[in-house]
Chain A
Amino acid sequence: MKTDTVLLQIKNLKAYFSSTLVLKDISLDVSTNKVVALIGPSGCGKSTFIRCLNRMHEETPEAHVQGEVILNKQNIYAPSADPVLIRRKVGMVFQKPNPFPGMSIFDNVALGLRLLGIRKRSVLEEKVHSSLVQAALWNEVKNILKRPGTSLSGGQQQRLCIARTLATTPSVILMDEPTSALDPVSTMRIEELIRHLVQTVTVVIVTHNMQQASRISDNTAFLLNGELVEYEKTSRLFTNPSDPRTEQYITGRFG
């Protein structure tokens, strides 16, 4: 039987804003090439949690983290770890599509590579092409690569942001409500894309949409008041959750 390989190990993670504890001792494993959905009511710490997975949390003034996040057997919070390198390995896509203003579609995708020092045109073209193909956007933009990224529709802009993240070949992509600003068709395309991407990367997604979590994820974590209440296979969590609080939340008895 095929066993899952653990890619990300979160051990006793605690996150603080100043002295306020917002994530309470969270431990969970994320397997390679899986989609993990994080659900929970507003303010429960979902976004903070994923921001801890690529050291974005510490960018907020007075915010700090305790515990370990082990990516490929290396603690990303080790003193020797470089946050910039970590963010290349653990990319992030946000709620609102945010292509760099004033930059063309091509440049948006190529920027990360240029920052890595890649200048050769052919290499950049090849990587931009493969990233846009992977993000299911190539066919729509192949003839307009010089147009500004902001000229695309909301759904296309979000896929452009995913392509931009893919360009630096991350092993994990974090997504913070990536479809909440999109219409149902664009949402469906992003969901299909996530299922496709998971063949090569691991995805951790925050969503408020229960159906989305149940459609696209392999495992789901339910957070409440900064606590991990339940982390289970999605098929089980949405049909027979173990914890009554999960049951109450997913059936809309509170939220």
Chain B
Amino acid sequence: MDLKLKKHNAKIKNMKAKKQNITRFRSRLDERLNYMKSLACSMGECVEQTISDTQEVVFGKAVLEQKLTSIKKREDQINSLQLKLSKACFRALARQAPVAKDLRLILTCLYANTDLERMGDLAINIAHRTKKMDTDSSLDSCYTTLEKMFQSTIQMVQLSMQAFMKEDTTLAKNVLEMDDVVDSCQTQIKEKSKKVMQDKPHLVPTGVEFIIVSNGLERIADHSTNIAEEIIFLQTGYDIRHGS
């Protein structure tokens, strides 16, 4: 066979083999990336359920002891998912040397991992505090605002996880806008609680609890906005945190 033709055939064979290797590399990496995203979403679901359970406990719709058992179980689940996700990210970074969007997705998973674990912890802390909260007609508006705050926070968590799964910046921006609602609820609860505490000193412990619980919810919402900002980073490569 002509030497030139032989060389040409060898080159084509080499390129085909290389293409196959690339396909294998990609499918392995895609599989890992999907696994990471699914872990993060499972964490998100656990967090969302924990906040819902906490809400039921706060509003007396569930027996605290029963709920605390399931909340504890979910806390273990979140912790275990956090470890799995960290390990998956660490391995992918070490073994796949990702770049560009692959790298940004892994970083987003790592950041979201920390955020979601904190969100779970904050929700659990709120559930534990509720035993100290009294009911009184003067606290009604506080409870109403707190309920609104719970709903908005849960919505933010749901929306941020949807945005993460779909890698959708529009949904992520909606989460950022919703944070204002939660912040305003927190301010209202602070003001109302202060007034109740001034008028009825025996409700001071409950007033303090309202402030602490609303602070916790505000922190959870903040972590959701962190996730939303991370999704914008994932999609655009720009870090918008701290107004940068």
Contact = CB atoms under 8 A, between A and B. Distances in A.
B98 A251 contact: yes
A214 B97 CA distance: 11
Given A42-B15, A239-B237, A240-B237, A253 B101 contact: no
A210 B97 contact: yes
Nearest to A236: B237
A239 B100 contact: yes
B22 A241 contact: no
Contacts of A211: 97
A210 B98 CA distance: 10
B102 interface: yes
B68 interface: no
A238 B25 CA distance: 18
Provide the main secondary structure of the chain A interface.
loop
Contacts of A61: none
Contacts of B101: 247, 251
B98 to A, nearest CB: 7
Query: Chain B contact residues (Cβ within 8 angstroms of A): what range?
Result: 10 to 19
Contact of A239 (B15, B22, B97, B99): B99
B19 A239 contact: no
Given A42-B15, A239-B237, A240-B237, A252 B100 contact: no
Provide the main secondary structure of the chain B interface.
helix
A239 to B, nearest CB: 6
Query: Chain A contact residues (Cβ within 8 angstroms of B): what range?
Result: 10 to 19
B237 A252 contact: no
Given A239-B104, A239-B237, A240-B237, A250 B22 contact: no
A211 B104 CA distance: 16
A252 B25 contact: yes
B103 interface: yes
B18 interface: yes
Given A239-B237, A240-B237, A252-B29, A214 B99 contact: yes
A255 interface: yes
24 contacts: A42-B11, A42-B18, A210-B99, A211-B97, A214-B99, A238-B99, A238-B100, A239-B99, A239-B100, A239-B103, A239-B104, A239-B237, A240-B100, A240-B237, A247-B101, A250-B99, A251-B98, A251-B99, A251-B100, A252-B22, A252-B25, A252-B29, A255-B18, A255-B19
